[in-house]
Structure 1
Amino acid sequence: MSTYWNVVKERRSYYAISKKQVTPDERIEEIVGEAVKHVPSPFNSQSARVVVLLGEQHDRLWDLAKAELKKILPADGYQATEEKINGFFRSGYGSILYFEDENVIQGLQQAFPLYSDNFPVWSHQSSGMLQFAVWSALELDGWGASLQHYNPVIDGAVRAEWSLPANWKLIAQMPFGKPVAQPDQKEFAPLAERLKLFK
């Protein structure tokens, strides 16, 4: 089995992560940069935008998330959310925020009106490929990560905290750190129900 498929198989959602550094920060930036550069996008639109938060900036993200969630959750339900964020996400080394530039997408819709409805869908598909590429590369380097979706609850706070453009739409958050426990065994639905071959 090739290294590629080994990485695909081994990439999992790691929730038990620590702040211990696994690779230099420059290596993290290199991984994300290579993925942003080379992952395909519709019409080569390159609409992906990414923010990498390390150290105190990473902690700040999850403190903001807790503050925003506290505003909307009932008091008796907030404690479990706070414990989850502290134990599974803030406990890590860093977070990667994935955005799509809506100005680019709207430009494509105007330039190619026949496909107008498809561009937001294709944008999300491209973002998903980017997330998978980064996630897999982090896995290969020994990091554990998971994918979270606290948007749109945290969107405004994130834009304000890091002075990000209003046209950057937050898609997902990827906290990562050194794995301190293995995820549960993964179960698979029968492949025969999910794959058909005709020839």
Structure 2
Amino acid sequence: MTMDTSVRDHFLAAVRQRRSFYGISDEAVVPDERIEEIIKEAVKHTPSSFNSQSARIVLLLKQEHKKFWNITTETLRKIVADPEQFKATQEKMNAFAAGYGTVLFFEDQTVIEGLQQQFASYKDNFPKWSAHSSGMHQFVVWTALETEGFGASLQHYNPLVDEEVKRTWGLPDSWSLIAQMPFGKPVAQPGEKTFKPLEERIKIFK
């Protein structure tokens, strides 16, 4: 099946425009139902090795979103004892909490362990392939949210917050937290993006 040219162009345009937005607000950009639809489409259609479908996502909106960043803030405060040194961290946490929502990306280790037992010759590869699939889920959700008018960034405060997150939202122990994506209405432009020469990054043989 040949894809329509306009669809291809739209996809690549979305890829080009995806950026890291750190200045975000909690103003609604689209209805919550649309955000939920994006998450469901991403989980259903993003590929995974052996069609394992090991990705798990938790969508936190509004006050639940702020609760996550409060947990992260207090966790980090216990590590950085000096209040002066913690100021920069506090500002960063406040910036994330100012958004509308956060997407938590997990991988279900029960699925991965099951594949390791079923296909022992690939045992060492399944955790790597799981990470690949999670990265694709992150990219799909990130790009889709930005096409709706949100700004987002990808954060990694795991494993520091893992246990508290599982307790707070009643998540299975087998869910391993991979990344966190705060998003909201952009209130500041992203920084300049630079590119290394493509000639150094791509080789083509015909």
Identity %: 58
**Which of these residues, 80, 99, 106, is aligned with residue 113 of structure 2?**
106
Say whether residues 1:144 and 2:144 are aligned partners.
Answer: no
CA deviation profile, 1:144-189 (whole Å, cap 9, x unmatched): 0000000000001100100100000000000000001111221000
Counterparts of 1:156 and 1:69, CA distance in 2: 14
**Which of these residues, 89, 95, 110, is aligned with residue 81 of structure 1?**
89
Q: Which runs of 4+ in 1 moved over 2 A?
A: none
**Which of these residues, 35, 53, 60, is aligned with residue 53 of structure 1?**
60
* Corresponding residue for residue 188 of structure 2: 181
* Corresponding residue for residue 39 of structure 1: 46
The TM-score normalised by the length of structure 1 is 0.98
Counterparts of 2:46 and 2:89, CA distance in 1: 33
Counterparts of 2:91 and 2:189, CA distance in 1: 20
1:39: Cα distance to partner? 0.3
Helix, strand or coil: the match of 1:53?
strand
Counterparts of 1:78 and 1:183, CA distance in 2: 24
The TM-score normalised by the length of structure 2 is 0.94
Counterparts of 1:11 and 1:22, CA distance in 2: 17
Note the 1:86-165 alignment, pairs <5 A. 86-87=94-95, 89-165=96-172
1:7: Cα distance to partner? 0.3
- Structure 2, unaligned runs of 5 or more: 1-7
Q: Which stretch shifts more, 177-186 or 122-131? A: 177-186
Say whether residues 1:170 and 2:171 are aligned partners.
Answer: no
1:74: Cα distance to partner? 3.0
* Corresponding residue for residue 4 of structure 2: none
1:79: Cα distance to partner? 1.6
Helix, strand or coil: the match of 2:20?
coil
